[in-house]
Every structure is written in structure tokens, then in C-alpha cells.
Structure 1
Amino acid sequence: MTDELVDIKGRAQAPRRSRLGEFFSSDFFYMFRRSPVAIISFAVVALLVLAALLAPLIAPYDPFNPASLNLMNGFTPPSTPNAFTGDTFLLGTDDQGRDVFSTILYGMRISLFVGFAAVLFAMVLGVLLGLIAGYVGGWIETLIMRIADIQLTFPSILVAMLIFGVAKGFTPVEYRDQMAIWVLIVAIGLSDWVQFARVVRGATLVEKNKEYVQAAKMIGRTGPAIMLKHILPNVLSPVLVIATISLALAIIAEATLSFLGVGAPPTQPSLGTLIRIGQGFLFSGEWWILLFPAATLLALALSVNLLGDWLRDALNPRLR
């Protein structure tokens, strides 16, 4: 039996393509492989994410295991044998003798986890509130949009610091270090939901007056079912673009909060925490403790941002 299809007149038709084949022959993939910036950005993001996920296998040392640390290895320059132990480290060590390369891999896991989780939380909250505001309207729409307008008058990093401080104050002292990452995710997510809500509300106002929504109402579909099954799939394209760009902003926000000492705890340092530690030794000559974590954060945030800009152009038919 062949894969060919036969129409009602008995003529052979071309075999159906798989979904993977359709993707590789789509305009989206054609634009991707014609854009060097998108290819390089995607390669950098994929490499860094893969390195973070495989940190326990790639990292030569466990930098957060006190039993594996040797203070005599402290302040060892990159690729230079230590004067006391003779050990060599690719990117050097910090003041506690921790391998900088290993700390970057483990720290990047925290930064990426916080960034992805915060964006997911902000996206779910913003999309839900945007759908409700655009579809229901009335005083509910006014209330949601006025809260969004008020929040936009403050810098998002200040909103995140305020939420983090309030949430941490309600957390019992013995659980603060354990809950710090989750509090940080909630704080960044609550500071970034507004962009999702405003875009989804605008798209919902357009979609709810179209024929397919009116038809769904006529056959008895409920409001939540219409919002989730009919309107939501048609407003996801701009949401995905905002989510990609917001990922870079969330990673930077986490690094900023950790740099200021109100983010990830010392027991679970992120890239921002490593930068804060390295900043204290910059002017004493140990430049590598700051340079390599900062360069990793810059490469990650810049690549995600460039990928989001390209995705915005690729999914916008007006810019083609």
C-alpha cells in the first residue's frame, strides 16, 4: 500500500506531509533560515539553556557543596595553576575557592527558572484578565484597566521590590530562604502582567464582534467557553511575542533584584548574585569573578531579546 491518496475521480494525489515537513516548508521557517540574527540568537539561547539544564553533568565541580571547596584555591586566575594547590580552573575561582565556570552553570539554572516561571505566571494572569476585560466589559473592564494604568505609572522593578518585600514579610523566618525563589517569581510575575492584559483586551474587543463568536453564542456556548475555545486561539500570536521579550526582561529583573540583595538567597545564587559578589572584588584585581557572570547574563538577555524582536516581525504580516 502506498501513501498516495486517490480522489473521487480516481486520480492519484500527492502524499500528505507530516507536521514536521509542513513546518520546514512554511514561510515562518523560510524567514528564520534567511535571518542570520535569528539563527545566531537561537543558537546562543539553545546553547545556554542546554548548558544550564545539564549543569550537573557539565560542571567540573559542585560549587555549592562545602565538602568540595578548598579555600586555598581562592582568587585563582583563569587557566592559571594555583600557587598553593597547583589546581587549574578554566574561568578561575572566587573568594571561597569555587570554580567560576561551575557557579555560572548552576546560577544560570536559577535565573532561567525564575525567568520562565515568572513569564508563565504573568502570561496566564494577564491573558485571563485581558480576556475578561475585553469580553465582559462594563465596570469589570474599567476596574482591571484602571489597576493596569496605575501599575504602569511605577517602574516594574520598584513594583517587584515592593511585592517581594511585602511577601517576604509574611513568610516565616525559618522558611524565607526556601521560599525566596517562589516569592521572587510571584513578585516579577505580578509586575509584568499588564502588557499581556492590555494586548489581549484589545484583540478580544476586535474578535468578539466577528461572526464565529456570534455563531457560538447562537448555539448556546457559555462565555467562558467562548473566551477559552474560540477567542483565545486567535489572540495568541502577539502573546507569544510579548512572552519572548518579557523573558529577557524577567531575567534582567531577577538579576537586578539579586544584585540589590533582595532576590535569590546566598544558598541558591543566580547570575545576579554572582555579579553582586564579583563587583566587590573588581577594583582589587580579581576581574574574572565579575566579568564572566556578567558576560553570560548579557549574552542570554541580548539573544532572547533579539529573538523576540525577530519573532515579532515574523508574525506580523504588515512587516513582511
Structure 2
Amino acid sequence: MTDVTTPAKPQSRLVRVLDSDLVFSYRRSPIAIVASIIAVVLILAAILAPWIAPYNPFNPRTLNLMDGFTKPMSTSFAGNYFLLGADHQGRDLLSTILYGMRVSLFVGLSATLFAMTLGVSLGLIAGYRGGLLDAVIMRIADIQLSFPAILIALLIFGVARGLIPANQQENTVLVVLILAIGLSNWAQFARTVRGATMVERQKDYVSAARIMGVPPIFILIKHILPNVVGPVLVIATIGLALAIIEEATLSFLGVGVPPTQPSLGTLIRIGQQFLFSGEWWILAFPAFTLILLALSVNLLGDWLRDALNPRLR
């Protein structure tokens, strides 16, 4: 009698993901769990701001100067209740923070994606081609890394604003801000990807693809790029937190988004004017939100770096 064993069913993709080392590391990291919950709550609150915000802070018809400087958890002279208080213009601070967080997240995420795309592309080209092109790209990256990112962003922002007509500056401020922050942060992506590409191009599967006549662009995209995604994700996660802080710094210095569409940095700049006059909440709550958002994303980046490091397993 022949013993016939039935082959085991292949596991579904969801089961493989849940059994992966990354998910196992996430379950064993309370800091990553708490940070991810905070980040998801803040991001969802920003996305759903038009539906969950108590007021529309940018609608002049709903603003009342009698609501100005209303303290947190109190009712104004006009009869409106403000959970986090109101600013000097009578805008609900909770609603303003939700809308401002949308701007900060949009600029930070867009700038990070732009920096990642530019840096990964240049890193792949430099690491694969080598020679003079590699030397030129890396020397530019070295020069840029020798200066603080905020100074480079200020320089790029100033030059771009000088080239744009005055009547178009307010409409293009978000694009200029994204380009300035993105161009100041691409070098880290390029250096990391370039080093990983130089290792991968020496391996047998790349040599086999060359012998088969596969074009270099397909070798870079289909073969080398998937093997350098791990470090890129870590840098992108940490870079997102840095981009949000960089945008807040530029807005705090008065060269970011205008008060008509404020970000968290703009709200902090407005709030610091009233800190010593007793209206502390105008500064405290936007600053606390910015710290919470940047810290949660940064902690996720630290966890992802450790989880993807094979030496720590």
C-alpha cells in the first residue's frame, strides 16, 4: 500500500505577510505600535478635516472678532464653544490645526517623494555607470551635505521666488516650497542607493542580464532597484519627519506658506506673538501637534531601520 501525501496548500499572500519578520518585529515593539497609532490618527484627522472640523477657519463669513482670544474649553462672547480656544482673529484653534496639518503633511510628503525620486535615480545611475558621471554626482552630493538642509532650502526658495512674477508668487508658493525642501534632501538617497548599486552590479544575476542583452534601464529598474528598496524606505520615513520640520521652520521664518493657507509652522509663528501676553494656547497646541506628528513618524523610521537591519535579527 502506497502512502500518498497530499501537497500542502500554498499560503496566501496575507498569511505570508502576517508571518513575516517585519510584522513579528512590529508586534514586539510597543514604541512602534504607539507611534503608528498616533501617526495614523493625526494623518486621518488631517485628511478628514473638512468633515470633522467644528468650523471652517478660512471662511470669513463664519469668523467673529468677538470670539478672539477665547480660552480653551470655554464659550466666547458670541456664544461659540471652542475646545482648544480661539486665536486673535476668532478662528477655532482645533479647526485651524486640522487644516494646517493638511498643508504640512502635503508639503512634507510631496517633498520627500520628490527627493526620493531624484536621489534614487541619480544614485542608480552613478552606482551603475561609475566613472566621471559618478564622480560629478557624488561631489555635488558631498558639497550639498556639507551645508545644513535649511540653508539650502532657504537659498533655493529665495532664488525661485525671485524668478517668479510677484502676482504669481502666492499661487506657486507650495510648489516652490516642495522643490526647495526636496532639492535640499536628495543627497542622502543618492549616496545610499549608489553604494548599494555598486554592490549589486557585481553579482551574477546582473552579469547574466548583461550577457542576455537586457538594456541598462531595465536592469536598474527590474533587478537592482528592488534590492535597494529597504534602505530607501528607512530614509524616506525619517526624511518625512525632517521635511515636516523643515517646512515648519521655513514657515516660522516667514518664507513658507502664507497666513491665508497656514501650516503648523505658520500657526506657531502667529502664536509666538501672543505668548507673553497670556494667550499661550495659540502657540502651545500647534507646537504640540507638530512635535507629536514629527516624533511619531521619526520613531517609526527608527523602528523600520532596526527591523530591516539583518545584523540585529
TM-score of the superposition, structure 2-length normalised? 0.98
Question: Runs of 5+ in structure 1 lacking a partner?
Answer: 1-8
1:193 matched to 2:177? The reply is no
Q: 1:69 aligns with which of 41, 63, 67?
A: 63
Aligned-partner Cα distance in 1 for 2:11–2:281: 51
Q: 2:72 aligns with which of 58, 78, 94?
A: 78
Q: 1:181 aligns with which of 174, 177, 185?
A: 174
1:260 matched to 2:253? The reply is yes
1:39-72 C-alpha deviation (Å, 9 max, x unpaired): 0000000000000000001101000111110111
Aligned-partner Cα distance in 1 for 2:124–2:155: 27
1:93-129 C-alpha deviation (Å, 9 max, x unpaired): 0000000000000000000000100000000000000
Aligned-partner Cα distance in 2 for 1:85–1:105: 23
Q: 2:13 aligns with which of 19, 25, 31?
A: 19
Aligned-partner Cα distance in 1 for 2:4–2:179: 60
Alignment match, 1:220:
213
Written as runs of structure 1 = structure 2, the 5 A alignment for 1:82-121 is 82=76, 84-121=77-114
The range that moved more, 25-34 or 282-291, is 25-34
After the TM superposition, list the runs of 4 or more consecutive aligned residues in structure 1 that deviate by more than 4 angstroms.
Answer: none
3-state DSSP class of the match of 2:51?
helix
Aligned-partner Cα distance in 2 for 1:44–1:14: 40
1:31 matched to 2:25? The reply is yes
Alignment match, 1:149:
142
The aligned amino acid for 1:308 is G
Question: Runs of 5+ in structure 2 lacking a partner?
Answer: none
Alignment match, 1:310:
303
Aligned-partner Cα distance in 1 for 2:168–2:12: 50
The range that moved more, 294-303 or 168-177, is 168-177
Aligned-partner Cα distance in 2 for 1:187–1:85: 42
The aligned amino acid for 2:257 is A
Alignment match, 2:118:
125
Alignment match, 1:46:
40
Aligned-partner Cα distance in 2 for 1:270–1:126: 26
The aligned amino acid for 1:20 is L
Alignment match, 1:284:
277
Alignment match, 1:229:
222
Same amino acid, percent of matched pairs: 67
3-state DSSP class of the match of 2:184?
helix
The aligned amino acid for 1:117 is S
Aligned-partner Cα distance in 2 for 1:32–1:13: 32
Alignment match, 2:53:
59
| Number of aligned positions between the proteins | 311
1:269 matched to 2:262? The reply is yes
The aligned amino acid for 1:19 is R
The range that moved more, 21-30 or 150-159, is 21-30
The aligned amino acid for 1:255 is A
Q: 2:200 aligns with which of 189, 203, 207?
A: 207
Aligned-partner Cα distance in 2 for 1:68–1:20: 48
Aligned-partner Cα distance in 2 for 1:208–1:288: 55
Aligned-partner Cα distance in 2 for 1:231–1:52: 36
Aligned-partner Cα distance in 2 for 1:53–1:32: 25
> What RMSD, in angstroms, separates the aligned Cα atoms of the two structures?
1.0
The aligned amino acid for 1:37 is I
The range that moved more, 166-175 or 289-298, is 166-175
The aligned amino acid for 1:184 is L
Structure 1 residue 13, shift from structure 2 partner: 2.5
Aligned-partner Cα distance in 1 for 2:10–2:189: 37
3-state DSSP class of the match of 2:55?
coil
Aligned-partner Cα distance in 2 for 1:174–1:11: 76
